Chains A and B, each alone.
Chain A
Amino acid sequence: MAAHSGKPGGGEALVAFFTKLPSLQVPEEELVIPSDLERYGLSEVVNRLLGRDQPIPFDFLVEGEFLRSSIGRYLEAHKLSSEKVLRLEFVLALREPEQSAVDEAPEWISSVAALEAFPSTWFAATLYDGTVRLYEGAQMKLTTRLSDHGLTGAAALPTSRGSHLVAACQDGTLKACGFQCGSGPSSGAVSSQAGAKKALQACAIHEDGTLLAAGGWSMEVCVWNVEPETFADETAGKRKAPHQAEAKFTLAGHSQVVTALSFGKKEQFPFSLLSGSWARLSRRPDRVSSNSNDEIVSLSG
């Protein structure tokens, strides 16, 4: 691993390192290194260049993608010449995640949703006994019962104060609830959207917060409008009966259970709802349903 400039021979490559990390800058020289070096070897080279006592593990990116094989194999795969300089960006390597805390829930957890935009410290987990548990970091902060039957899917939309959460329930209704995440988290009133005949499996909220969608074992996707009472606060007034809403429209077409729903980013899919099932993935723009069928056989969407 001599850092000398010269022509690379067989089994060597010409690389130059750079980084965006401010504290770990390296002179951008062209180095000739053996081409069978992988991440660990390259990390050693950079540490040598930095002259550190404690070596830091680095990870390397080529053209924005992580280098996951040796340099020689990368050059062969992309048919690059070893005499041309390969610019490698190095970043801090991510370690294996360590388990910090375990919270034992009384029932099986069906899904987890992040309540804030990434990176989020607040998470909600829906359980098969119909409750939702809120976590901040590793600690469980709040438990709310949304239904008597199991909840199978959840989706959340971050709002100014907290988040709106919808959960698909096994009795065929979509439960919606607003949460305030803060020092004292609290939940709003639970409203339910009916319209599906059988148990629901997946749900989604539009980015605007205007539409709710859910699909399940009735092989249909139901779409609801979001009304002010959907995510009402508890303090807005006690209601004798929880709010019930009917579906705006129902989309049929799947032959098997619908297990995944997504509205997609507004810029890319302005009027679309993607739904995945055990048989097909189809994309339906709002109002006009034209299917583009890609066959995906998968277990859970």
Chain B
Amino acid sequence: MPRLKPGARARSSSASSRLKRPRLASSSSVPVPGDESAKKEKSVEEMIEDEDLEDTDEDSDHGLVDDGSSDDSEDDAPRNRIGNVPLEWYKDEDHVGYDIAGEKIMRTLSTSEINALLESKDNPDAWRTIKDHKNQREVVLTETDLEVIRRIRERMYPSLATDTTEMVEFENPEARIHPEGKAHPPKSRFLPSKWERMKVKRLVSLLRQGKIRPPPPPAPEVWDLWADEAQLRRKAPTALPAPKMALPGHAESYNPPSEYLFTEEEKKEWEETFEEDRTLNHLPQKFESLRHVPGYKDFTLERFKRCLDLYLVPRALKQRMNVDPESLLPKLPNPKDLRPFPTHIAVSYEGHEGMIRSVAVEATGRYLATASSDETLRIWEVATGRPVRSIKFSSAVTAVAWNPQHLMLSVSAEENVFFLDPQLEIQAAPDGEAPVAVSSLLEFKEANVAKPEGEEVEEPTAAKAKAVHWRAVQPDSPQHAAGCRLSIATDGDVQLLVWHHKGNYCAAVSPKARATSNQCIIHALNQQKSMRPFARLRGGQQVQSCAFHPSKPHFLVATMRSVRIYDLQKQAQVKQLISGAKWISSVTVHPTGDHVVVGSYDRRVVWWDLDFASKPYKTLQYHDKAVRCATFHPGKFPLLAACSDDATVSILHAKVFSDLMQSPMIVPVKRLRDHMVNQGFGVLSCAWHPHQPWLFTAGADGRAYLWA
């Protein structure tokens, strides 16, 4: 039902309300003002002028049923002031709301059908009477109203005075719900945008390339101050209460049994111990009765200390690792399972008077040679300890080595190297090839003498290396009688002699040689020539020791800090092994040829695996003093011996596995302790028996032992 306000008073801007008293006489589209046209126009014009169409004081009685309950002034506003409250809420009530004064609006309009029928018959205006239930009045439509209704139904402007400018809300964008043109909206408006897709695709490809980054997340408007706090808060340390005070016992009693009283010694002991360590804070005392008991003078102090304990002393739980210390130790096999290894002295070789510098065992394991600073070289029978030969030289004998193939020795005695035939072979053998070979080996070859004569003309200075001359030992000298046949004059004391396993080459190391190239010289026995392959050692350090590789044509030279491996055929350095040791004393190669062990004067034994890089595989420190010599067993036993200046020899079980997955297992199994320290030197040299797990040691105390 269109909301029609009574035409007289108009508050709202609806078109019909502007019309005041429109006539319904004419049926033309435009209400033709009749007699009252002037009046009407006036009123219309007045209305047009009035912008705020307030109520004009005119005839107010327009279509209103005068029931006397309403005032004119109240016609503008609805009578019932309940607002948007639905009328259903009042369906059980006798009133339908309240008016502006607060008075109930009683139900007066009848709702029965019968009354409506009677009304329609009786009342001539019933067809244009509207029952307004909310305001409880009947509104009779005037002619003007009817005219307006008719016009609106015919889709015409309600009247001429209609203000068409406000009919369409041009300024209200929310009211623009209808299309403004006749054309259909384009389909693309309802489909996803093509251009946007192209833009998005471009952006995505740029994102994927990384040329642009996705936009950072927007900064939050609101920052939660306490968002992180929950994470930072750590669990509070468990409250550790103060230890409970001990309850007073019998000693605290004023009349304790006599055994609780201290005796004189106990009293003295109590006075001497520290206060913190005392079990009782006071001396127990005995009184006859309670009234004799004096005041306890330490009461306040004790209470104070207790208070400190309670609130001032920091207490913390000691975090103890519950790790069984046994489980941290590496699981090494028991030495009993790793036998055989030498454990005790089996034979001792007695006879030397000075320090024994070097010990060497013959290839068959029958004879032992010892070189000593009492200027003798002695040869012993290994099994019995019987001295077989004793050869005197003119100076301390420093190094000795047996030829691996022939029964002969190379000996160094201060500045000479001798090749010696000890005549140990049986001459009565029927097929005496062997003894003939040794003496023929040691025959001096005159042919070589001619060449050096030409060189000697140059007269090199002492700094430059002199040519190495091989000489025959004079037949009338005592050394010749002992068996020396060839001698070589060297530059500096030779500390070490090592033979190549084929028995032709002997390397001599003299660290104190003045010329660098003389520090390591290789002598060839068959050709009776000497080679100095290391004329200029890189690093410029002294050569301390050397070793031949057991299978390859490699030669190891140990300087003070590193070991260099050279290929003698290619005349090039193959590898350099760097150790942490400051002063290397000896070098030894494992029989398989893959591992090198070095003993050093800073108490260390360093093991390299040649398959790895130049860093050591293991560094072992089992001695308190310098390690003089370290040797591998040359046969099938996995043993390593290291002898040191603390007069002990450590025996290590060094099992090397042929598969590359397992690294060598090194287990110390024994320490041999029978040598004695002499002038700061302990055991100077050690050597393994070629095919038994026996060790020969040479000590500075003049003793050589066979350990088995």
- Residues of chain A whose beta carbon lies under 8 Å from any beta carbon of chain B: 108, 110, 128, 149, 170-173, 194, 197-199, 217, 255-257, 259, 278-279, 297, 299-300
Which residues of the other chain, A, contact B346 by a CB distance below 8 angstroms? 299
Taken together as a complex, chains A and B put the C-alpha atoms of A227 and B426 apart, in Å, by: 26
Q: Is B386 an interface residue (CB 8 A)?
A: yes
A299 adjacent to B366 (CB under 8 Å): no
Q: Taking each of B429, B691, B692, which has the highest tally of chain A beta carbons within 10 Å of its own beta carbon?
A: B429
- In the complex, how many residue pairs between chain A and chain B have their CB atoms under 8 Å apart? 39
Q: Is B708 an interface residue (CB 8 A)?
A: yes
Given contacts A299-B346, A299-B383, A300-B383, contact A172 B426 (CB under 8 A): yes
Which residues of the other chain, B, contact A173 by a CB distance below 8 angstroms? 428
Name the 3 nearest CB pairs between A and B, nearest first. A171-B426, A171-B428, A108-B386
Taken together as a complex, chains A and B put the C-alpha atoms of A279 and B637 apart, in Å, by: 13
Q: Is B384 an interface residue (CB 8 A)?
A: yes
A198 adjacent to B426 (CB under 8 Å): yes
Which residues of the other chain, B, contact A278 by a CB distance below 8 angstroms? 692
Which B residues between 44 and 102 are near A, CB-CB below 8 angstroms? Answer: none
A170 adjacent to B426 (CB under 8 Å): yes
Which residues of the other chain, A, contact B171 by a CB distance below 8 angstroms? none
Other contacts beyond A110-B384, A128-B386, A198-B429: 10, CB < 8 A: A108-B384, A171-B427, A171-B428, A171-B429, A172-B428, A172-B429, A217-B364, A297-B340, A297-B693, A299-B346
CB of A287, distance to nearest CB on chain B (Å): 26
The closest CB in chain B to the CB of A199 belongs to B426
A297 adjacent to B692 (CB under 8 Å): yes
- Residues of chain B whose beta carbon lies under 8 Å from any beta carbon of chain A: 340, 346-347, 364-366, 383-384, 386, 426-431, 691-693, 708
Which residues of the other chain, B, contact A128 by a CB distance below 8 angstroms? 386
CB of B685, distance to nearest CB on chain A (Å): 22
Taken together as a complex, chains A and B put the C-alpha atoms of A278 and B427 apart, in Å, by: 26
A217 adjacent to B428 (CB under 8 Å): no
A-B contact pairs, 25 of them (CB 8 A): A108-B386, A110-B384, A149-B426, A149-B428, A170-B426, A171-B427, A171-B428, A171-B429, A172-B426, A172-B429, A173-B428, A194-B430, A197-B431, A198-B426, A199-B426, A217-B364, A255-B691, A256-B691, A256-B692, A257-B366, A278-B692, A297-B692, A299-B383, A299-B708, A300-B383
Taken together as a complex, chains A and B put the C-alpha atoms of A278 and B386 apart, in Å, by: 19
Which residues of the other chain, B, contact A110 by a CB distance below 8 angstroms? 384
Which residues of the other chain, A, contact B364 by a CB distance below 8 angstroms? 217
The closest CB in chain B to the CB of A194 belongs to B430
Which residues of the other chain, B, contact A217 by a CB distance below 8 angstroms? 364, 366
Taken together as a complex, chains A and B put the C-alpha atoms of A297 and B123 apart, in Å, by: 149
CB of A30, distance to nearest CB on chain B (Å): 45
Interface of A is mostly: loop
Taken together as a complex, chains A and B put the C-alpha atoms of A297 and B637 apart, in Å, by: 13
The closest CB in chain A to the CB of B430 belongs to A194
Taken together as a complex, chains A and B put the C-alpha atoms of A173 and B429 apart, in Å, by: 9
Which residues of the other chain, B, contact A300 by a CB distance below 8 angstroms? 383
Q: Taking each of A108, A255, A299, A300, which has the highest tally of chain B beta carbons within 10 Å of its own beta carbon?
A: A299
Taken together as a complex, chains A and B put the C-alpha atoms of A168 and B366 apart, in Å, by: 16
CB of B490, distance to nearest CB on chain A (Å): 35
Which residues of the other chain, B, contact A297 by a CB distance below 8 angstroms? 340, 692-693
Taken together as a complex, chains A and B put the C-alpha atoms of A297 and B342 apart, in Å, by: 12
Taken together as a complex, chains A and B put the C-alpha atoms of A231 and B337 apart, in Å, by: 51
Which residues of the other chain, B, contact A108 by a CB distance below 8 angstroms? 384, 386
Taken together as a complex, chains A and B put the C-alpha atoms of A279 and B430 apart, in Å, by: 28
CB of A111, distance to nearest CB on chain B (Å): 11
Taken together as a complex, chains A and B put the C-alpha atoms of A151 and B574 apart, in Å, by: 52
Which residues of the other chain, A, contact B426 by a CB distance below 8 angstroms? 149, 170-172, 198-199
Which residues of the other chain, B, contact A256 by a CB distance below 8 angstroms? 691-692
Which residues of the other chain, A, contact B430 by a CB distance below 8 angstroms? 194
Which residues of the other chain, A, contact B366 by a CB distance below 8 angstroms? 217, 257
CB of B638, distance to nearest CB on chain A (Å): 15
The closest CB in chain B to the CB of A201 belongs to B383
CB of B635, distance to nearest CB on chain A (Å): 11
CB of A190, distance to nearest CB on chain B (Å): 14
Which residues of the other chain, B, contact A198 by a CB distance below 8 angstroms? 426, 429
Taken together as a complex, chains A and B put the C-alpha atoms of A299 and B692 apart, in Å, by: 10
Which residues of the other chain, A, contact B383 by a CB distance below 8 angstroms? 259, 299-300
Which residues of the other chain, B, contact A255 by a CB distance below 8 angstroms? 691
The closest CB in chain A to the CB of B706 belongs to A299
CB of B344, distance to nearest CB on chain A (Å): 11
B429 adjacent to A197 (CB under 8 Å): yes
The closest CB in chain A to the CB of B708 belongs to A299
Taken together as a complex, chains A and B put the C-alpha atoms of A297 and B431 apart, in Å, by: 32
Which residues of the other chain, B, contact A199 by a CB distance below 8 angstroms? 426
The closest CB in chain A to the CB of B693 belongs to A297
The closest CB in chain B to the CB of A301 belongs to B383
Taken together as a complex, chains A and B put the C-alpha atoms of A300 and B386 apart, in Å, by: 14
Taken together as a complex, chains A and B put the C-alpha atoms of A170 and B424 apart, in Å, by: 10
Taken together as a complex, chains A and B put the C-alpha atoms of A128 and B385 apart, in Å, by: 13
Taken together as a complex, chains A and B put the C-alpha atoms of A257 and B365 apart, in Å, by: 10
The closest CB in chain B to the CB of A300 belongs to B383
Taken together as a complex, chains A and B put the C-alpha atoms of A37 and B691 apart, in Å, by: 49
CB of B667, distance to nearest CB on chain A (Å): 20
CB of B493, distance to nearest CB on chain A (Å): 35
CB of B670, distance to nearest CB on chain A (Å): 16
The closest CB in chain A to the CB of B387 belongs to A108
Taken together as a complex, chains A and B put the C-alpha atoms of A53 and B365 apart, in Å, by: 60
Taken together as a complex, chains A and B put the C-alpha atoms of A65 and B599 apart, in Å, by: 54
Taken together as a complex, chains A and B put the C-alpha atoms of A199 and B340 apart, in Å, by: 28
The closest CB in chain B to the CB of A256 belongs to B691
Which residues of the other chain, A, contact B431 by a CB distance below 8 angstroms? 197
Which residues of the other chain, B, contact A299 by a CB distance below 8 angstroms? 346-347, 383, 708
Taken together as a complex, chains A and B put the C-alpha atoms of A172 and B428 apart, in Å, by: 8
Taken together as a complex, chains A and B put the C-alpha atoms of A217 and B381 apart, in Å, by: 13
Taken together as a complex, chains A and B put the C-alpha atoms of A182 and B693 apart, in Å, by: 47
Which residues of the other chain, A, contact B429 by a CB distance below 8 angstroms? 171-172, 197-198
The closest CB in chain B to the CB of A108 belongs to B386
CB of B135, distance to nearest CB on chain A (Å): 129
Taken together as a complex, chains A and B put the C-alpha atoms of A93 and B366 apart, in Å, by: 42
The closest CB in chain A to the CB of B428 belongs to A171
Which residues of the other chain, B, contact A259 by a CB distance below 8 angstroms? 383
CB of A255, distance to nearest CB on chain B (Å): 8
Taken together as a complex, chains A and B put the C-alpha atoms of A255 and B428 apart, in Å, by: 24
